[in-house]
Copies of this chain bind each other. A is one copy, B any other.
Amino acid sequence: MVDLPRCRLSTWADVDGWADAVAAQVRERSAVPSTIVGLTRGGWVPARLLADRLGVKRIVSLRAQHWGVTATPTGDAQLTEGLSGTVEGLHVLVVDDITDTGDSLALAVAHVRDARPARVESATFLHITHSKFAPTYFAEEIPRDRWVWVVFPWNYWEDLTALALRAVEVGQGIDRVRATLRDRCGLDVPRADLERLARYVPFG
């Protein structure tokens, strides 16, 4: 059975709304942090958007490498590169796009704590209830029994590539792939996007 999960395509308007919601929670419940730590790769856009809304000038990168594949609810996370700047004595907000298993964010927060900040909080745009780790702030919760693979605007082409390569196993050709993505994943992909993908990825 080909793994073609139900997906939810998110838009930039969703993203801006999530950033607004998280920033409002931070301002309401806490002081504004002095440094935002963005996890690679999913946390970079959320980190930048939260920095803008909170007026935080310093963003620091932390590499969290998932040893899994797109669109599986499981898969271990492992930190392979450290913080790109010091956080010692600082109030830090660690940011990722989503807590799915929660492994990445849990590892990241533990890693940041080892670097002796004055205070660590965490934030994601989305939080799936079965996650082992709950972020301090999140914009929207997805109940476990309504798990979907969220396609973010900064991961659209990668997700589409991964999904299309699986859909090919169900049936070849752009139109067949498109129908499979619609029926199995709930994704309505413009034909032009699949034509563009077909230039680099063989699924025709």
Residues of chain B lying within 8 A (CB to CB) of residue A81: 84-85
Cβ of A185 within 8 Å of any chain B Cβ, yes or no, is: no
Taking residues whose C-beta sits less than 8 angstroms from the other chain, chain A's interface range is 20 to 34
For A122, the chain B residues whose CB sits under 8 A away are none
CB distance from A169 to the nearest CB of B (A): 20
From B38, B63, B153, B156, contact of A44 by CB (8 A): B38
- Are the C-beta atoms of B41 and A44 separated by less than 8 Å? no
Contact of B84 with A157 in the complex, beta carbons under 8 Å: no
In angstroms, how far is the closest chain B Cβ from the Cβ of A70?
Answer: 11
Count of this chain's copies in the oligomeric assembly: 2
Cβ of A17 < 8 Å from any Cβ of B?
no
Majority-rule SS of A interface residues: mixed
Interface: A52 (CB within 8 A): yes
- Chain A, 49-64, contact with B by CB distance < 8 Å: what is the 0/1 string? 1011101011111010
Q: Which of A12, A52, A53, A85 is most buried by chain B, counting CB atoms within 10 A of its CB?
A: A52
Q: For A52, list chain B residues within 8 Å (CB).
A: 154-158
Does A27 sit at the interface, judged by CB under 8 A?
Answer: yes
A40 an interface residue at 8 Å Cβ cutoff? Answer: yes
Q: Give the complex CA separation of A49 and B63 in angstroms.
A: 17
